Chains A and B, each alone.
Chain A
Amino acid sequence: MDWVNSILQGILLGGLYALFAAGLSLIFGVMRLVNIAHGDLIVLAAFLGLTITSTFGLHPLAAIIIVVPAMAVIGYLLQALILNRTLGDNILPPLLVTFGLSVLLQNGLLEIYTADPQKLNAGAISTANVALGPLYVGVQPLLMFGVSIGVIASLQWIFYRTALGRAFRATSDNAEIAQLMGLNKAHVFALAMALSMAVVAVAGIFLAMRTSFTPASGPGRLIFGFEAVIIGGLGNLWGTLAGGVILGVAQAIGAQINPGWQILAGHFAFLVVLAIRPRGLFPRVEH
């Protein structure tokens, strides 16, 4: 039963990893930008949540209502003012600039919030359980997994069923032609980053509710996000969810064998997928 339990925990944790990854996948899909600062932006959202919950005495889940639009605005401005200037035929400038941003964020957060580990107190929900047959499952992980699926389904819907999604796909396909059809590339990219940061906001709050975090927590989240994207296959959001779940389950199995192997087992699963299926398990079909 221990095994079944830990695999179930791994699946639920995978939802959070998929949230880390979804924003990353969206941005790469729309503008071929690899955002090295993605993990640090998740941590920024977590600290924003900390400030809001401690200032207004709000529950972390209520703070999401403020942090999501705040991060979306930050994302729009970040893209419109800085990242759009770095995009071109050369893939190096956006990598370097987001790397610089990552360093800035880590040190800025360290300056403001110190290196002390922080955690958002979710109250009763963090200890509540529901019985699932012989197993007891935490309400909080279950809620997070449900929200992750909801977020991915919404992104999928936006991408394939709305004018905004068509704008993303058209610009991603051929930015110059899209421009000639009335799409302002700079604005479309900024909207994509705003959407990505809205997802990051949810991921950041969930991270902070689940575990303690410090200004240095970002790069680790970035790695999990990357691994989930690549296991699932680039440009496929449901694949990203599957990638997150595989990563979560691998970590859970590793931890079950030996508590010290949790992280290593996740990386090992990633390495195996990369070696056998370099394009991921569910790559987007090329037309």
Chain B
Amino acid sequence: MNAVLSISSLCKSFGTVKVADAISFDVPMGQSLGIIGPNGAGKTSLFNLITGTLRADSGSIKYQGIDVSTNNSATRCRAGIARSFQIPQPFTAMSVFENVLVGATQGAGLTQREAETVCLEILTQTGLVSRANDLAGALTLLERKRLELARALAANPKLLLLDEIAGGLTENECQSLVATINDIKSSGITIIWIEHIVHALLAVVDRLIVIDFGQMIADGKPKPIMNSRQVREIYMGLDADA
């Protein structure tokens, strides 16, 4: 198995709060991995550690077999790790097209002309092409979520990190977004997706990891994990005796 991402004994604390407590897992090439867990469990912090926004206290993060733990986030992005944010953070004073161009010219290192072609394809794929020349600040929530996705894709990632991208959307919007993500998955990009909307997640992922208090408490096929007592107790808030 060829691991795109290999995390071992990753630890990070803020004061006495452990957001990552000896987390270890590998993500094989082309896999779609879902991460669930209660709020504050350390899911987003894990993304911040993988992208380099946060530095780990100990442990290592290997990307394509190379330790990237000490690289800054720009270097990691250029190597092929891109993410979307839970709360969309577009460059509001720039057009949608320009937002995506930044990822394509800086992250993927394309020339202006190549980038323009690629960005047009990505905007078509993410359903934003009609909004290309509008200011990103004028987009609706769904469009902003789609822009998060488009920007991340423009960096030409091998590893795509999605942070609660389905949150706050209507059922229909959610379904169309899932279709887009399945599209990306079938193009061979490795995906790690943090999500509370479990049915959206289960429509895409091959594997599920559960995190609570910074610890990995389950890892395996989605169905058995969702049905396990441990997940129902901790994640769904069910009583142990129920």
Contacts and interface: CB of A to CB of B under 8 A. Distances in A.
Given A169-B93, A174-B91, A287-B92, A180 B106 contact: no
Given A167-B106, A174-B91, A287-B93, A179 B74 contact: yes
A182 B77 contact: yes
A116 B83 CA distance: 59
Nearest to A167: B106
A179 B77 CA distance: 8
Interface of B: 51, 53, 72-75, 77-78, 82-83, 85, 89, 91-94, 98-99, 101-103, 105-109, 112, 115, 135, 137-138, 151, 154-155
A178 to B, nearest CB: 7
Interface in A64-100: none
Interface string A56-70: 000000000000000
Contact of B78 (A173, A178, A182, A287): A182
B176 to A, nearest CB: 25
Given A163-B112, A185-B74, A173 B83 contact: no
Nearest to B79: A182
A183 B102 contact: yes
Contact of A182 (B85, B91, B98, B155): B155
B interface: dominant SS: helix
10 contacts: A170-B94, A173-B93, A178-B102, A180-B77, A181-B103, A181-B107, A181-B151, A182-B77, A182-B109, A184-B74
Given A180-B83, A181-B77, A287-B137, 17 more contacts: A162-B112, A163-B115, A166-B105, A170-B94, A176-B53, A177-B91, A178-B91, A179-B77, A180-B53, A180-B73, A181-B102, A181-B106, A181-B154, A182-B107, A183-B106, A184-B75, A287-B138
A170 B51 contact: no
Nearest to A177: B89
Interface in A159-196: 162-163, 166-167, 169-170, 173-174, 176-185
Chain A at the B interface: mostly helix, strand, loop or mixed?
helix
A166 B74 contact: no
A178 B89 CA distance: 10
B83 A182 contact: no
A167 B106 CA distance: 8
Contact of A181 (B75, B137, B155): B155
Nearest to A286: B93
Contact of A179 (B72, B85, B94, B138): B72
Contacts of A180: 51, 53, 73-74, 77, 82-83
Contacts of B107: 181-182
B132 to A, nearest CB: 15
Contacts of A169: 91, 93-94, 98
Nearest to B135: A287
A83 to B, nearest CB: 18
Interface string A96-129: 0000000000000000000000000000000000
